[in-house]
């Protein structure tokens, strides 16, 4: 279990801002910090990682105190059981894929762990390549595998997929979920992509000007209601949940999530990432897949 209770005074482009965050995260949860640029998301992630010190508060992970302002405890990043992945990958350019993944591992475990992660991440054929010989998506998979190599208590992801195109993001989101299910690290993701939050997270905290504005499951936080009975608009399917003979389809329309009940026949033509048109027929919306 992770307990975070921190405050920090920030100086932003819009003036001074007080970042305050208090939460408890269960082991194995996938949690997203969501909000606009400048809301304090990355600063909070850096405080958990030990790269930035809070002004006041505590951070405890699995019974170990990582930070306590009153007791003057502030473990270095090396002393914290973390794996980190950033947008820019931060791979060692002179090392191969296999060497990057095993860089922080003790020699006795290096071969077996690297071999497993190469297989799990689908990187066996790329093991001897250098980072400059890889695509953006391949480099990101290497960064994820390296972050998981030490089996961290906490995986920290700072917008790791934002520089990739839509199809690669969707593919890597599935791979990230697969890795999370296999190794089950507690995960904190920083994102401002609502569809990504919906696909990956079990819980989301919405930060606005350093404060938690809303929290809960993505459906609880983002789903809208009270839709007009006459409308037509397009959106992107971000989540589908079977519910008896129908499914609840979550669709990203602009910056809003809309929940629509879809029949089995409609669902056979739908998948996450599919662009659709939603149109009303009396009070029952129709979901119409759009041509690619």
Contacts of 57 (CB under 8 A, 6+ apart): 4, 5, 6, 7, 67, 69
Which superfamily is assigned to 2-220 in CATH?
Answer: P-loop containing nucleotide triphosphate hydrolases (3.40.50.300)
What DSSP assignment string belongs to 273-289? T-EEEEEEETTEEEEEE
> pTM for the whole thing?
0.76
Distance CA 245, CA 247 (A): 7
Helix (H) or strand (E) holding 85: strand 82-86
Distance CA 184, CA 110 (A): 20
- 225-289 architecture in CATH? Beta Barrel (2.40)
Integer angstrom CA distances of residue 166 from 144, 195, 198, 234, 274: 19, 11, 15, 17, 11
Q: What is the pLDDT along the chain (292 residues), one digit of tens a residue?
A: 999 999 999 988 778 999 999 999 999 999 999 988 889 999 999 999 999 999 999 999 999 999 999 999 999 999 999 999 987 778 899 999 999 999 888 888 899 999 999 998 889 999 999 999 998 889 988 999 999 998 999 999 998 888 777 778 888 888 888 889 888 999 999 998 888 888 899 999 999 999 999 999 988 887 643 334 456 678 889 988 887 777 889 898 877 888 888 887 778 888 888 888 887 654 455 566 776 6
Q: What angle do CA 140, 146, 149 make, to 5 degrees?
A: 145
Return the domain boundaries, the chain. 2-220, 225-289
């Amino acid at each position: 279990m992770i307990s975070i209770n921190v405050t920090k005074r920030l100086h932003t482009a819009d003036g001074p801002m007080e970042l305050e965050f208090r939460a408890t995260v269960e082991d194995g949860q996938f949690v997203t910090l969501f909000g606009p640029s400048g809301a304090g998301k990355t600063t909070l992630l850096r405080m958990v990682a030990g790269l930035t010190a809070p002004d006041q508060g505590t951070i405890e992970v699995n019974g170990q105190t990582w930070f306590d302002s009153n007791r003057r405890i502030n473990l270095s990043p090396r002393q914290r059981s973390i794996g980190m992945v950033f947008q820019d990958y931060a791979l060692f350019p002179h090392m191969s894929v296999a060497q990057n993944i095993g860089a922080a591992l003790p020699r006795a475990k290096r071969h077996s762990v690297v071999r497993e992660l190469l297989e799990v991440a689908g990187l066996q054929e790329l093991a001897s390549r250098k980072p400059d010989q890889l695509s953006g998506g391949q480099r990101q998979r290497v960064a994820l595998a390296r972050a998981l190599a030490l089996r961290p208590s906490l995986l920290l992801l700072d917008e790791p997929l934002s520089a990739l195109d839509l199809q690669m993001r969707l593919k890597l989101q599935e791979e990230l979920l697969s890795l999370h299910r296999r190794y089950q690290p507690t995960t904190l993701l920083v994102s401002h992509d609502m569809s990504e939050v919906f696909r990956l997270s079990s819980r989301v905290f919405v930060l606005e000007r350093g404060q938690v504005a809303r929290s809960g499951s993505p459906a609880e936080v983002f789903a809208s209601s009270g839709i007009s009975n006459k409308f037509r608009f397009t959106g992107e399917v971000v989540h589908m949940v079977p519910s008896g003979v129908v499914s609840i389809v979550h669709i990203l329309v602009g910056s809003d999530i809309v929940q629509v009940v879809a029949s089995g026949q409609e669902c056979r033509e739908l998948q996450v990432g599919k662009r659709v048109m939603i149109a009303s027929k009396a009070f029952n919306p129709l979901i119409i897949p759009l041509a690619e």
